[in-house]
């Protein structure tokens, strides 16, 4: 199943989401994101929604655009952020300086060596962190992608992709 076929399954109450799903997966000159970056963000975001049909549809479309390394990186970003977003959201929300200073002791080597350009992996991680609601991670990944040359419009585009895919998963569940 493709994203277009999945889009057709969205009922009338999700008309806005159906229309947004078409637009966010297209290049937008103001964002500066490449098609590969758009589909990498979309794939990592689809994994973060945990919705099987959405994951399969985005994988189907992304497989014609992304390399195996980029697909692997999207999977890695969704997986490592599933751990990090919980851990760092906890340390942030606990408001306990002593907890924040403790060594994390969790393996996260993929962040340092994702197998694709670092800025792309960070962009995937930003989108997943937005879905998972980790403010500390959102702040860190935003700074990193900006430093890597992604514009504010590019950051917004990535988060819009995450938002629309999350809403798509919700609409499909309803």
Contact 130, 137 (CB under 8 A): no
Q: Identify whether 123 is a catalytic site residue.
A: no
Whole-angstrom distance, CA of residue 149 vs CA of residue 42 = 20
Alpha helices for 9-134 (secondary structure H) = 15-24, 35-49, 52-62, 68-93, 97-101, 118-132
- The catalytic position among 3, 55, 74, 134 is 134
Q: Which residues contact 47 (CB under 8 A, 6 or more apart)?
A: 55, 74, 75, 78, 79, 128
Contact 25, 144 (CB under 8 A): no
- The catalytic position among 127, 137, 145, 171 is 137
Structure tokens at 111: 């962040």
Q: Identify whether 20 is a catalytic site residue.
A: no
Handedness of CA 48, 54, 3, 172 (dihedral sign): negative
Residues with active-site annotation: 134, 137
């Amino acid at each position: 199943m493709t994203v277009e076929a999945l889009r057709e399954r969205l009922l009338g109450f999700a008309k806005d989401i159906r229309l947004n799903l078409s637009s966010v997966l297209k290049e937008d000159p103001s964002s500066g994101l490449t098609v590969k970056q758009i589909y990498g963000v979309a794939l990592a975001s689809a994994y973060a929604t945990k919705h099987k049909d959405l994951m399969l549809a985005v994988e189907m479309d992304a497989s014609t655009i992304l390399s195996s390394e980029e697909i692997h990186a999207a999977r890695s970003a969704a997986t490592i952020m599933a751990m990090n977003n919980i851990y760092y959201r906890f340390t942030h929300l606990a408001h306990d300086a002593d907890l924040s200073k403790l060594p994390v002791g969790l393996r996260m080597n993929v962040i340092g060596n994702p197998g694709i350009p670092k800025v792309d992996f960070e962009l995937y991680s930003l989108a997943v962190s937005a879905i998972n609601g980790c403010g500390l991670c959102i702040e860190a990944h935003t700074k990193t992608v900006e430093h890597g040359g992604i514009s504010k419009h590019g950051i917004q585009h990535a988060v819009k992709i995450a938002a629309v895919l999350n809403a798509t998963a919700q609409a499909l569940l309803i």
